[in-house]
A and B are shown apart, each in its own frame.
Chain A
Amino acid sequence: MAKKPRIKTPATAKQGEVFQVKTIVSHKMETGRRKDKKTGTNIPRNILNRMEVTYNDRSVFAAHMEPGISANPYVSFYIKATESGEIVFKWTEDSGAVITETRKITVK
């Protein structure tokens, strides 16, 4: 299972400011096409296939990911600051495992 994701969001933002959000998760993103050298069989696919971001419970960004996304998936996007609150990040792995992280933001 993946380690704790690294997320970069500002702690404070001005009303109406558009800020960048950077995220990276340590994850092998096994494509399912790599061969196990000992057995010669393909290592089963196991990637983070979905990422969802909500800002005070409103969906602001989501990503559907295929094996074409590199290992340790880095994804960056933008959010417009409208109100103070929480930004919740959620990743779902092929196995069904879920990683969630929360970041607080204060809007002045």
Chain B
Amino acid sequence: MAHLSFKPGITRRRLLGVAGTGVASLAGAALTGGTARATPDDVQGEINKIVGGPAARVDNDKVKMKLPQIAENGRTVPVTVTVDSPQTDKDYVKRIHLLAEGNPVPVVAVFDLSPLSGKAEISARIRLAKTQNVVAAAEMNNGDVFIGKKSVKVTIGGCGG
């Protein structure tokens, strides 16, 4: 907390401001401590399970994610994931994992694709509890994993009630 002294640079207003942010951050800590939410580490843990190690890298060109920058309603947020792949018998996206870093359950959905898909693109509508990163992990048939990541600002959270 702010150190009390009578240095000329510290005005009453500035001191109150500092004290205010201190209280706000304390309240914030209490709130986040009270609700069970996934963390970016949980999502990384899920990715590690898919890859079998922390080898996968973020490649937003290979895995394109279409999401609104600001979602006014977290109850239903449209998302489209497109993976750059010919989707042939030899080279195709086997699975697309959709993960949310700030949701109570980090895994949102897992989509199984096949060479019969013709195109590695899926769309869905998801719930987002708060402002957070949404992650898509594309698992190729040869075991490679590519990650797409996008942040979404959520005005009204959409989990529980």
- Residues of A participating in the B interface, judged by any CB pair closer than 8 Å: 18, 31, 33-35, 55, 58-80, 82
Chain A: CB-nearest residue to B76: A70
Interface segment among B2-10, B11-19, B55-63, B99-107: the answer is: B99-107
Interface code B77-93, partner A: CB below 8 Å = 1, 0 otherwise?
11000000001000000
How many pairs of residues, A versus B, come closer than 8 Å at their CB atoms?
Answer: 104
- Residues of B participating in the A interface, judged by any CB pair closer than 8 Å: 75-78, 87, 98, 100, 103-105, 107-114, 116-119, 121-127, 158-161
B161 and A34: CB pair below 8 A? yes
Contacts A66-B107, A78-B117; is A71 near B123 (CB within 8 Å)?
Answer: no
Cross-chain contact of B127 among A18, A70, A82 (Cβ < 8 A): A70
Give complex CA distance A61, B110 in Å: 11
Contacts A63-B109, A77-B113, A79-B117; is A31 near B122 (CB within 8 Å)?
Answer: no
A68 and B116: CB pair below 8 A? no
B125 and A74: CB pair below 8 A? yes
A-B contact list, 26 entries, CB within 8 Å: A31-B159, A33-B104, A33-B160, A34-B161, A58-B116, A59-B112, A60-B116, A61-B112, A61-B113, A63-B124, A64-B112, A67-B159, A68-B100, A69-B127, A70-B77, A70-B158, A74-B78, A74-B124, A74-B125, A77-B117, A77-B121, A78-B117, A78-B119, A80-B116, A80-B119, A82-B116
